[in-house]
Amino acid sequence: MSTIKKIALGKNGPMVSKLGLGCMRMSPIYGSRVSNESEGIATIQSALDHGINFLNTGDFYGNGHNELLIGKAIKDRRDDAFISVKFGAIFDNGQWLGLDLRPMSIRNFINYSLVRLGIDTIDLYQPCRLDDSVPMEDVIGTVAELIKEGKVRHLGVSEIAAEQLRKANNIYPVTALEIGYSLADRQIEHDLLPTAKELGIGVVAFANTAEGLLTGEMKAPLSPDAYQNHFSRFQGENLIKNLEKVEILKSLAKEKGYTPSQLAIAWVNAQGDHIMPLVSMSRRSRLPENTEAMDIVFSTKEMHTLDEHFSVGSILGGTYLQR
């Protein structure tokens, strides 16, 4: 397994791995059972061993379980890890209740996160989303204060529009934007990605396989308990038509000797040195496949075929990425 190269996260930003590790699935999500904690810890440590230092979590993943797990994994290895934490989402028994972005709440959230993680400073701290419930100046301004106090190193934002990104960056320099991006979800190419590039903001791109659509393993209909059933993209004729579109990715993957998932990650990786694929993993066995994807090179013809076949709007129905 090769060592992942490092890039600057944004213009003159911190050096991080070109591949990020999403830790969410190491904790109970979408009503799932508690994951194998020891395997999650071993996965994080193995990732660190191979140069993947960007660890992504949220204080609401598993009601804090995810931060506790990461804290155990990085104990005595703090300098090897770059910790990215999202805040603001409120859940009750797995049900989304909304956002709490009040300054007082943010200050409460970060203190709990620091204790669970067992660290003094969070490398990248970001609201999971922004709404109109609290002025953006108050949200971003509070994180800026935490940076001055030494509890945070860099400001991030997540799942916002281009206009919001520009406004946030005017309040305090944004280091990174976390956003869903894949062959199946390219709507951000119109304005959000160009805005981030113009402002020198790094892009942390999650959902590279579009919630499993691009893995080549999905079949219609989905099992009744699949969480994807909540999204119109995976329902009825939409899913059938969308899986037909995935066939060309499967064919190209077979020709090149890789999996469709690897090609999906590689496509995101190929979009620029300022874009980091963020891949969720909970098992060490996934690391070799995902790191290998970072070495895949597309010919001009192959890239054109993918870009044309998966043009904006070609995938039917939506997911929470459009919510």
Active-site amino acid positions: 61
Task: State how far the Cα of 202 lies from the Cα of 177, in Å rounded to an integer.
Answer: 6
Task: State how far the Cα of 151 lies from the Cα of 14, in Å rounded to an integer.
Answer: 16
Please say whether the beta carbons of 125 and 87 come within 8 A: yes
Q: Is 175 helix (H, G, I), strand (E, B) or coil?
A: coil
- Find all residues with CB under 8 Å of 322, minimum gap 6, and list them: 187
Encoded tokens for 186: 């390219």
Q: Is 261 helix (H, G, I), strand (E, B) or coil?
A: helix
226 CB burial (10 A radius; 0-12, 13-18, 19+): middle
